[in-house]
A and B are shown apart, each in its own frame.
Chain A
């Protein structure tokens, strides 16, 4: 099973800040990584698929990158509505696996 390790577990941020979230796979998964955003009480929303493709309607301040084992989600200009938990998902090998999440909070 491919283990996805997200870092940091939580992060205190400020509005307007640039935020970088990381996800590391225990083995190569190519570009088969998605990023999801979950706000309290809501279902997860897909932000990025295939490591770097923005889903329909996702603001361009969200950027995904990476290949193989190391992946990054960057929020270029943090907004209040971005306070959420972010999960990475690998689908390069069965079983698909999620990271444990990174929680973004306000300083």
Chain B
């Protein structure tokens, strides 16, 4: 069974950084591109970006490219999202995604 479990969310102050993790299981992590999607409260879905199998290609939505960094550790079957200079507009549920499968999401709240 494919499982994607996000962690690392919570309350963070404006201007600070936060790193999310996504633990993958039930499939060969090395064989798949992985990505992140987010959803602000009461809003629609926003694609953040994706990373290829060996981390040689990383694509971002342009508005987040300078704030967010996607990485992966294939030995640990884990995907990461490093977020910096966080603002209230980054308050959202963050989902880890693979082809056809998403995690349940983790909430990030940016507030003083």
Contacts and interface: CB of A to CB of B under 8 A. Distances in A.
Nearest to B45: A98
A46 B98 CA distance: 11
Interface residues on A, range: 10 to 19
A43 B44 contact: no
Interface in B48-101: 49-50, 59-62, 93, 95, 100-101
A11 B75 CA distance: 47
Contact of A95 (B59, B95, B102, B103): B59
Consensus secondary structure, chain B interface: strand
B62 A95 contact: yes
B27 interface: no
A1 B61 CA distance: 9
B44 A87 contact: yes
A36 B101 CA distance: 11
B100 A46 contact: yes
A100 B47 CA distance: 12
B105 A98 contact: no
A90 B100 CA distance: 13
A64 interface: no
A49 interface: yes
B62 A98 contact: no
